[in-house]
Chain A
Amino acid sequence: MGANVRRAALRACLAAALAATAGITAACSSGAAPADFVSVSNGGCGDSWHLAGPGWHTFQVHNAAAEGAEVDLVDPADGAVYAEVEALGPGTTSPMRLNVGSGSYAFRCLFEDSEPLTGPTALVGGHARGTPAILPVTSNDLLEPARQYHAWVAAGLNTLVSQTAAVAADVRVGNLAAAKAAWLTAHLTYERLGAAYDAFGDFDQKLDGRPDGLAGGVSSAQWTGFYRLEYDLWHGQDARRLTPVANALAADARGLLAAWPTTQINLLQIGLRTHEILENALEFQLTGHDDYGSGSTLATTGANIAGTRELLTVLHPLLISRYAGLPAVYSWLDRLQSLLSASKGPNGQWLAVSQLGPGTRQAIDAACGQALEELAPIAAITEPRTT
């Protein structure tokens, strides 16, 4: 690392300190020493760095190579990651901030098409507590969860095919009361599979699409699937008009089942979906947006919780040692589920969210919000990383 670069880094820190208002610890004030400038390249990964001691540090990580890099600060003993800078472009510098505690620290650099490089280790003695390191999850780690999840979805799709066939049969014979009940059963089965939305590709729009964005909205001929059938069933359409909609739903379910064995699950999606399913539930179900007449969005939310739990089950072995908040995830999902169950009407029927008392609705929304906060870290923790 050249002296010029070092001075440049120091200048940047001083500018930041001056810009900050009094009474604030500027990012650089505790670690403004040039030693916190770390240069990486294909030839070396922070070779000249050293650690003055524990406490807050902001490393200015500079990529001196001609290609992009990912730079992690790791515990060299087991590869656990204290901090990372992803997608560090050639010639750019990015801050990496952490609280250094007692332990071993080394930079690890990943350049495209190269073996990972690990720089020299710095040891910090004593008993200072710092930002904890987390063992990275690799693609390899995610293969078994993905396999289990794929099999679980396959089983769910078999159920979906028979349940959508039952809906279509009820519609064809004009038994619309039975069709409504069968519709709910089949829809909840589909909603339990929420984690696989992206993997379902175009089938999801066919099976569970919304009229939003279609010209003509609810009267669009392109609107198909569960919600279209719900809208028609609960808006007094006769069996003759309903039959092609119900038949198409059953056919699309069969199509999805047929395509599933050759469909791959994106490993990144497994972790992302642990909060995205309930993000969707909060946006579309708990608001009542996706109530097209049946008033069953609270039941749908319950199915979404079940889908979330399945993802947590397959990821559990990876999370148990990496995420201290995991028990809170389960307890808030339990609380949300029990609030949903307790919100049913006097005859055990699901109520539309607009029929809930304000206290009940607020308790459900609050629990969903807290569950989402607890779930959110899982996506970052289980993002597949190269080690």
Chain B
Amino acid sequence: MPESVPPGASPAEPGAPRRRAFLRGALGAGVTGAVAGVAAGYTYRATQPTPASEAALENSAAGLLAPVPFHGRHQAGILPQSQRRTVVIAFTATAGGRAELTELFRTITARARFLTAGGTPPPTGIGGPPSDSGVLGPTVVPDGLTVTVGVGSTLFDDRYGLAAQLPARLTPMRAFPDDDLDPAQCGGDLVIQLSAGNTDTVLHALRDIAKHTRGGMQALWRIDGFTSPARPAGTVPRNMLGFMDGISNPSTSDRAQLDSLVWIQPGTAGEPAWTAGGSYFVVRLIRMFVEFWDRVDITEQENMIGRRRTSGYPLDANSIYATPNFTQDPTGEVIPLNSHMRLANPRTPQTAASRILRRAYNYDRGIDSVGDLDIGLIFSCFQQDIKRQFEAVQTRLIGEPLVDYISPFGGGYFLALPGVADSSDFLGRALLA
């Protein structure tokens, strides 16, 4: 099949009719959603995108994404597919003691509860400046906003008496041989990821949360990200190397799989009880040397990744979601043994437990000192055990050919807190109460 033909356009492709039907469904749902203003809640990307998640992307441009329910056993921002816009910001806790730290988490929770549901901010009369920045107009729209809060290992030092509550698998982020970490862009006592359909929505949320927490935490590093539309429609969004990113992910509708890969289970050996329902959250800021990359032959690019750039197909298959058959290709004749896809997920029984839930965003922040573009990837992933999962994957990737074109420079290891059960609960209650 010629590389220039988009997937789904070839009548010879077995999946084509289904794919076209799916696309029609997506557009239909988008229109309905816009008129009624009501979608059946946010939907999750499973291994394959669903019509409703495509509809969500359609609606996001108009700021019409429905609210994502805030309360639940897990934080609501972990399973949804990457949204159009995100900001990841790490903070140093400056709260003066345990009581103030608890108040900080209560405040973050209250703001997140309001911002994700939307509503009209209260007037202040002659008693002060307006309570809201007004960036979203007089009524705050939810726009699919999710607020994901994590804590870093440094929060468990001697400041707040939390040392005994340190999650068993939470450490400072380790440096891998191919990293070039800038300490100023690493770590943090807290991390907050805000994702929504539009930039104004995430920045509004960030300003709101910061305004209400100035004394309790101070920003340490921050990066903004975006998800591209799937091009062609119905495929998977691409990263700045031009390749579809995160095609192979655990299914977010398979509860058993999530319980074995993503969520910390009650009674896990060594884990303090409060961590149950949380998930280890790894953030890696990865510069991509795109000018260099763009000077590389397409065959070499595809061999480094292990997939076709145009279609996202594994080099040995004819559809995006096909499972590459590494056992049939033991010497790497078709998919090189050191390709990114093959090293990251060798698809063996032994490596199945190292799978991670990836949630990457692209970033773009200007130019570097030689005038090249400073763009790349905010790699993030969720898992039960950083060593067993992210670090195992990253260890397999040490020295992969791709490392010449990328440079991890920041990020951190965090524990995404368990969810907020209801209106009387707050983030971190089980840790702090």
Contacts and interface: CB of A to CB of B under 8 A. Distances in A.
Interface string A333-372: 0010000000000000000000000110011011101101
B215 to A, nearest CB: 3
A25 B119 contact: yes
Contacts of A359: 92
Q: What is the predominant secondary structure among interface residues of chain B facing chain A?
A: loop
Contacts of B215: 332, 335, 366-367, 369-370, 373
A77 interface: no
A55 interface: no
A380 B38 contact: no
B126 A136 contact: yes
Interface stretch (B2-10, B138-146, B231-239): B138-146
B158 to A, nearest CB: 13
A259 interface: no
Given A21-B66, A22-B36, A23-B142, A132 B122 contact: no
Contacts of A376: 128-129
Given A366-B215, A367-B94, A25 B128 contact: no
A184 to B, nearest CB: 28
- At the interface, is chain A mostly helix, strand, loop or mixed? mixed
A244 B284 CA distance: 56
A22 B38 contact: yes
Interface residues of B, number: 34
Nearest to B94: A366
Contacts of A22: 36-38, 66
Contacts of B124: 377, 380
Contacts of B96: 335
B17 interface: no
Contacts of B207: none
A84 B120 contact: no
A380 B129 contact: yes
Contacts of B122: 99, 131
Interface stretch (B174-182, B216-224, B331-339, B412-420): B216-224
A134 B66 contact: no
B133 to A, nearest CB: 13
A97 interface: yes
A36 to B, nearest CB: 14
B63 to A, nearest CB: 8
A265 interface: no
Interface in A263-295: none
A98 B122 CA distance: 7
The CB with the most chain A CB atoms within 10 A, among B36, B96, B128, B138, is that of: B128
Interface in A1-51: 20-27
A377 B128 contact: yes
B267 interface: no
B220 A362 contact: yes
B123 interface: yes
| In the complex, the 5 A-B pairs of residues with the closest C-beta atoms, listed nearest first | A370-B215, A377-B128, A369-B214, A366-B94, A362-B218
Given A21-B66, A131-B123, 11 more contacts: A20-B141, A25-B120, A27-B138, A136-B126, A363-B94, A369-B215, A369-B218, A376-B128, A377-B124, A377-B127, A380-B126
